[in-house]
Amino acid sequence: MAIYRYKDLLPSIGNESYVSDSARVIGNVVLGEGCYVGHGAIIRADYGTIIIGQGTAIEEGVVIHAGVDATFSIGNRVTLGHGAIVHGDSIGDFSVVGMGAVMGRGTSLGEWSIVAEGAVVARGQSVKDGTIVGGVPAEEIGHVTERHKKYWKWAKEVYRNLARDYESCLERIDG
């Protein structure tokens, strides 16, 4: 794991969480239990605080940053897709930020909401519970259905299993 103290700010990593050795967790980060932090992800809380709930998947290449003196709260069982950049205020439980999406400063995402791949949630924008947004800037394009919830419950278990399995099954073989 690449866990960094910044001044007197020390990350806290929950039980059964996996943090890739190529990821960076810096400063005042609280990572809940059973989380997955993929290769190349950066979670940086050098001037603010980042609190991440249980069972959240931070996929490869994600960048998370908290603003100066701000707290960025990311809920339980959230999925942040490959290459997403998130710099908001809050993300509700069970929400999804798609691959390559951006959440600007001062943004919020309600529970069970989805930001489509490549979308940009612009500075100060709020997305209501159960809403799907897409585009640049992001606009409402639909609502989360039971079909979405069923799929995302399954997908979130994939990363919870990876978090558990990587500790015992991932082995570097190139020396």
Q: In this structure, which amino acid lies at residue 102?
A: V
DSSP string, 91-115: E-TT-EE-TT-EE-TT-EE-TT-EE
Quote the mean pLDDT of the chain. Answer: 94
What pLDDT, on a 0 to 100 scale, did the predictor assign at position 170? 82
The Cβ of residue 170 has, within 10 Å, a number of other Cβ atoms equal to 11
Asked if 49 contacts 66 with a C-beta cutoff of 8 angstroms, the reply is yes
What pLDDT, on a 0 to 100 scale, did the predictor assign at position 167? 79
**pLDDT over 90 percentage in the chain:** 83
Domains located in the chain, CATH noted? 3-169 (2.160.10.10)
Residue position matching structure tokens 């995402």: 109
What pLDDT, on a 0 to 100 scale, did the predictor assign at position 1? 63
- Among the residue ranges 35-44, 56-65, 115-124, 161-170, the one predicted with the least confidence is 161-170
Q: How is residue 76 written in tokens?
A: 């339980």
pLDDT of 28 over the 80 cut: yes
Residue 175 binned pLDDT confidence (cut-offs 50, 70, 90): low
Beta bridge partners of 73: 51, 90
pLDDT of 44 over the 80 cut: yes
The verdict on pTM exceeding 0.85 is: yes
Q: How far apart are CA 163 and CA 33, in angstroms?
A: 10
Q: How far apart are CA 137 and CA 15, in angstroms?
A: 37
Residue position matching structure tokens 């005042």: 28
pLDDT tens digit string along 84-111?
999 999 999 999 999 999 999 999 999 9
Q: How far apart are CA 88 and CA 63, in angstroms?
A: 11
